[in-house]
Chain A
Amino acid sequence: MRIGVLALQGDFAEHIAVLRRMGVEAEEVRLPQHLHSLDGLIIPGGESTTIGKLAVAYDLIEPLRDFGKEKPIWGTCAGAIFLSKDARRQQPLLNLMDITVERNAFGRQVDSFEIDLDVPVLNQFSSEPRPYHAVFIRAPLIASVEKDAQPLACLPDGRIVAARQGHLLATSFHPELTSDDRFHRYFLSFAEKAES
């Protein structure tokens, strides 16, 4: 299985390190031709405006949309914003997931935080249920999920921070910054399904 990580800007090296630690072949994606022969794609954390502008400049928007119609894509933080159909401001988006996101929903950097989340879909990857430690950095919130998009994890006050729609996955936080690889395993299970 080969997984691409969009390497226009952001913490793509951290995602690649997790994938390689898991024994998965991982490739940096900067141009449309780098998408060939991949089984899935991760869009990392970073600045969503920067990633969007570079994707437009290097003609990646349509190839990424086509890729996402058939193969799994996971967006973390800025990647989740880029996957959405509405970020409540003008910036390039892929419009692949029927979610609306609110950028910098928790405030500025001094309000960035860590918290344990209850994520039921991850319990299949551990012998007994345990919380998922999540790192939120100037994070977006998933303000609403529509059509067949489903929430996967919420904060204690009920606000949505992870969602899935078919083979597309969005998280407001950064699983690539922790040593718990259960979210990566969850995403790889979509790619395995697509492959077989």
Chain B
Amino acid sequence: MEQQVGTFAVKKGLAQMLKGGVIMDVVTPEHARIAEDAGAVAVMALERVPADIRAHGGVARMSDPELILKIMDTVSIPVMAKCRIGHFVEAQILEAIGVDYIDESEVLTPADEHHHINKHAFKVPFVCGCRNLGEALRRIGEGAAMIRTKGEAGTGDVVEAVRHARSVLGDIRRLQTMAEEEVMAFAKEIGAPYELVMETRALGRLPVVNFAAGGIATPADAAMMMQLGVDGVFVGSGIFKSGDPARRAAAIVKAVTHYNDPYILAEVSRNLGEPMVGRQISAIPETELIAGRGW
């Protein structure tokens, strides 16, 4: 067989290599170096962390390729970048500059209110957010090679990430107890491709790697998501909006490895300085919530 690039196995495979790890949002090359030194498995290069996107308002777009390239030059770990939902040309640009993963992200302002990107058309792999099993399997159907919960980015409140992880993992458990003749109606109900529903049922998990994201701010938050059953975590604003980013970043990395050891979790949680201030999601007006973006 001749050498083949851009296959689904290598796209999904990179996410498998990130398992048990922490992917950190960074806005400068200096942040990227701090993240790598703390043990991040990858960085998400962007101009503003979600908390600042919320504060800034306006239309949030793909970051300047120059910034992303500088971050790629700084670290040896994979570099991810975000494009808007449905904005396939932003994705083409990110592929052209050689990012390792694209996040088709609800954190940016959607460019298409009906369609996501056809991710099969790209050599570069994509990660997409989800709130439930149907949304996760629709994204995989479009070619996503990695899934993350949406949570509610930029809040420092983990409640939505928990809701979304419980919804996905709970629906998979429910699916496994169903009689086979009930699966088609279930696929219709959640709006997911039947073949992917059957595959998920057989595997007892999503067919691709599944991380938690959105509102994770402490080692305890990260370990809780791991104990709920995700494969790793994204930390956005939670690190660089805290009092001591290097220390907090290293602590969250250790918490994800030792997520089942409360003694180590207690040790790494000590003296981390101020966490990000955060906003309680239940106090945010509905029109400012972003997890609902995505179709």
A contact set with B: CB distance below 8 Å? 7-14, 30, 45-47, 49-50, 53-54, 57, 77-78, 89, 103-104, 107-116, 131, 133, 135-138, 174, 177
Contacts and interface: CB of A to CB of B under 8 A. Distances in A.
B20 A137 contact: no
B95 interface: yes
B152 interface: no
A12 B98 CA distance: 27
26 contacts: A8-B20, A8-B257, A9-B39, A9-B257, A13-B19, A14-B16, A45-B17, A46-B20, A46-B41, A47-B18, A49-B39, A57-B250, A57-B254, A108-B99, A110-B6, A110-B123, A112-B14, A114-B1, A114-B7, A114-B10, A135-B13, A136-B10, A137-B10, A138-B14, A138-B17, A138-B100
Contacts of A133: 1
A103 B76 contact: yes
B129 interface: no
Contacts of A53: 37-39, 253
B3 A30 contact: no
Interface in B104-133: 123-125
A49 B76 contact: yes
Contacts of B100: 108-110, 138
B231 to A, nearest CB: 8
Interface of B: 1-7, 9-10, 13-14, 16-21, 36-42, 72, 76-78, 95, 98-101, 123-125, 250, 253-254, 256-258, 261
Given A46-B41, A131-B1, A138-B100, A177 B36 contact: no
Given A54-B253, A89-B76, A115-B3, 14 more contacts: A9-B257, A11-B19, A46-B19, A46-B41, A50-B41, A104-B76, A108-B99, A109-B14, A110-B95, A110-B124, A114-B1, A115-B1, A138-B17, A177-B9
A30 B101 contact: no
A68 B17 CA distance: 23
Contacts, number: 124
A110 B13 CA distance: 12
A112 B16 CA distance: 14
Contacts of A112: 5, 10, 13-14
B19 A50 contact: no
B77 A113 contact: no
Nearest to A48: B76
A113 B3 contact: yes
Contacts of A113: 3-5, 7, 10
A109 B1 CA distance: 20
Nearest to B209: A11
A73 B169 CA distance: 35
Given A50-B253, A108-B98, A110-B124, A11 B7 contact: no
Contact of B98 (A13, A14, A110, A116): A110
* Interface-centre pick from B18, B95, B256 (highest chain A CB count, 10 A): B18
Contacts of A57: 250, 254
Contact of B254 (A54, A109, A131, A135): A54
